[in-house]
Structure 1
Amino acid sequence: MLRSGAGHPDAGQSEASTSRQLSPEEEAQRLYATLNEYLLLEHKAQPRLCLPNESENGEVTTGARDGAAHVLRCLKVWFDLPADVLINAISLFDRFLTKMKVRPCHVPCITVSCMNIALEQYAADTDTKRSISVEELVSISQSACTAGDVIRMSRVIVDKLSLVTGCRTSTVLDWLRLLRAMLRLHADQCAIVLPPSCQEEELVQLLEIVCCDAACVNTRTSELALVLLYYKLEQQLAESLAAAEESGTIPEHAYYLYDFARQLQLHCHMCDTTLAHARARVRHVLSRYERCEARRDQRQRLVWRLSERTLKVLRPTDRLTSLLPTIEEQHFAVDATPTRTRSGSESSENEETSDWPRSPVLPVYCDN
């Protein structure tokens, strides 16, 4: 659990800026103090999932876990939520599945409940009013559960994970922001411009992609954050080396940030073997995501399948037909008037609609 002000590495800086500006030495001391606090509490928020690829005895599979993570990300995009809510909800989901053995039918309710708890915690941390109700979460997620089910399941999750109001554990997003703040401070001290690829928005987007994949769920949170920084720094180093081959000189500052990331690895007691495995998993997930993005244009368009009852409510089509009766032309003399036999018991409406098909036929609209 974090003390007040340690949730975000920029929190202390924003509060101190109102009184006085911190010197680089004081800022470094504050960041390293937060880093040591994160290290002490890292094991409490570390999930240890062991999910099968295929369900044999009604167990939750890795595919079901990834599906729940993508549902959480869809809710984040739909409601335009910050990344803190999504990462915290995924962490709660993984930690709950680590402690409890659940049935696949309960996964949708657990997913929405984790998002509900994450919204509550974010409102408490930022001292803001919650704008999304439980009913809206249930309606948009289409989880086939009620708001009462989500509230009861939220209480179970809070109880099993021993969550305390106003206190939360550090997530991988907190680690990423902290390590990036330390890297930015080191770059300022060395008079180096931080690479554009290390912007927080791009790093957070990569983190969302990685957290939604079960391959990286058991990776240490500090290692996962550092691997993402390594991933961006390696890209910048490769670009610098490619530019140096043309000019013939290799800039020394290209290695400064990479060396500082190595110092962070040693400070956090990260093994080279486990860090290499984490880097391999992250590279595999990101490369697979990039291949899927490259094939986006080849995907089939979304088709909505509606029932016949819903279709009639949206647009009555019970009297539409693709075939129209042929109108035969009859020539009569001017004086001659055709005789009609009218029946007193039958209505004209029944005569006109008696031969129309009763099954709905949808009209086809062309672009031309």
Structure 2
Amino acid sequence: MDAYKLMKELRVNYEQEVFYLPKETGLVLIESSTRDESRISAKCRDVQVEDLWSLTSFFGYSTQTFVLAVNLLDRFLALMRIQPKHLSCVSLSCLHMAAKVTEEECDVTSSDELIRIGQARFTASDLCRMEKIVSEKLDFKSKPITALTFLQLYHQIALSHSMDRKETLSLEKLEAQLKACLCRISFSKAKPSVLALSLLRLQIIAVQSEDMLEIASHIQRHLKIADGELRLWSERVAQCLSDYASPECSKPNHRKLQWIVSRRTAQNLHASRSVPELPTIPEGGWGESESEDSCEDVMSSGEESLSSSLGSDAEGPYFPLHYRQQRDRGHLLA
């Protein structure tokens, strides 16, 4: 695609991004909630997104699937007031919906397998009903515009103007850094176009490319992004990536995500499914009279996220190692 068409597409996406942003008032409520309240807290949400990152890597899903799942999750959480015990079902529903949109049909894992690997305690029927709820509440009909949309366009524009620097501007590294940012709910309040440009500028500064920095400035002027807004989010992105690179930061670690079992046990795991301990969602649980900012206790109680069930550092048996995450971390910390 030539530069003119890229800039035109960029402008169209910029004008449409506002329709796919989570409600800021809802995000603020989540950030102000504490973990002992009967509603989702920022920490609870962030842990769930890290679980989605792990599952995305395990199933070999693309970055687009992960980013779309997080977008659906944040928009739903900012719109509906749900309890922590429902979060696992909501997040896995968002992942399953995203995969069905972005992945090849033959690569989309089944509901039963997603629930089993996700160590969730609800049924495939629960997951299906939750997908319908999320789809209806968000009016989900097409792929939303996300930070990844802009990141890919920015990368193409930069390379189309500076062909000699292909080796130094890595889209793969940019995608890995975007995933790290999305693990913090604070970045859900950033405009996708601004968040993506912040990531691009930081990498350009790192590779010390004056011509590409001018291209980034041209993109900023084309979209009329204010200097103060870009500076604010660039500083936050830089701090996030610095924190993420530190050894004190807890991040998805797939070297701990292994089952060590005998062949017979492995065969039994594939041959049988554990029966969920809890009932499915009642038929009348989500009535038409529901308010837009609340929901009834319609699901099985006692659901746990992957991380919370294993402890804060994700110790213990999990699921098999997937090699893509190791590659992502290498690009992120490079």
Q: Is TM (by shorter chain) over 0.5?
A: yes
| Aligned counterparts of 1:129 and 1:301: Cα–Cα separation in 2 | 28
Q: Which runs of 4+ in 1 moved over 4 A?
A: 293-296, 300-304
Shift, 1:139, TM fit: 0.5
Give the CA RMSD over aligned residues: 2.6
Partner of 2:80: 100
For 1:147, the equivalent position in structure 2 comes to: 124
> Which one-letter code corresponds to 1:193 in the other structure?
R
Aligned residue among 110, 117, 124 for 1:133:
110
Structure 1 equivalent of residue 276 of structure 2: none
Alignment of 1:109-128 (within 5 A): 109-123=89-103, 128=105
Where in structure 2 are the equivalents of 1:1-368 lying within 5 Å? 13=1, 27-47=2-22, 48=24, 49-50=27-28, 51=30, 52=32, 54-55=34-35, 57-123=37-103, 128-164=105-141, 167-188=142-163, 192-196=164-168, 198-237=169-208, 254-292=209-247
CA–CA separation in structure 2 for the residues paired with 1:120 and 1:303: 26
Which stretch of structure 1 is more off in the superposition, 46-55 or 90-99? 46-55
**Is the 2:194–2:225 Cα contact (8 Å) retained in structure 1?**
yes
The AA in structure 2 aligned to 1:286 is: L
Change (3 A) 1:303 1:208: closer
| 1:292 aligned counterpart, secondary structure | coil
CA separation of 1:141/1:295 partners in 2, compared to 1, >3 Å: closer, same or farther? closer
The Cα shift of 1:256 comes to 1.4
1:233-291 deviation line (CA, Å, top 9, x unaligned): 11112xxxxxxxxxxxxxxxx42111110111111121111211111211111111110
Alpha-carbon separation, structure 1, partners of 2:250 and 2:38: 34
Q: Give the Cα–Cα distance (whole angstroms) in 1 for the partners of residues 111 and 232 of structure 2.
A: 39
Q: Which has the higher contact order (CA 8 A, sep 6+)?
A: 2
Q: TM-score, normalised by structure 2?
A: 0.71
Q: For 1:129, what is the secondary structure of its paired residue?
A: helix
Q: Mind listing any 5+ residue stretches in structure 1 that lack a counterpart?
A: 1-12, 14-26, 238-253, 305-309, 315-368
Q: CA deviation at 1:183?
A: 0.6
Q: CA deviation at 1:295?
A: 9.4
Identity of aligned residues (%): 26
Q: String of CA shifts for 1:166-200, please: whole Å, max 9, x gaps.
A: x2221211110001000111113xxx42352x211
CA contact (8 A) 1:175 1:222 kept: yes
Larger Rg: 1
CA deviations on 1:48-70 (whole Å, 9 max, x unpaired) are: 31112514641210001101101
CA contact (8 A) 2:13 2:145 kept: yes
Amino acid aligned to 1:172: A
In structure 1, the partner of 2:306 is none
CA spacing shift, 1:287–1:217, aligned 2, 3 Å: same
TM-aligned CA deviation for residue 131 of structure 1: 3.4
* CA distance, structure 1, for counterparts of residue 33 and residue 167 of structure 2: 39
Q: Structure 1 residue 215: deviation in Å?
A: 2.5
1:358 counterpart residue number? none
Distance 2:62 2:258 in 1: 30
**Structure 2 unaligned runs (5+)?**
260-264, 270-334
Residues 53 and 63 in structure 1, CA contact (< 8 A), matched pair in contact too = no
Give the whole-Å Cα distance in 2 for the aligned partners of 1:221 and 1:100.
22
* Residue in structure 1 matched with residue 317 of structure 2 by the alignment: none
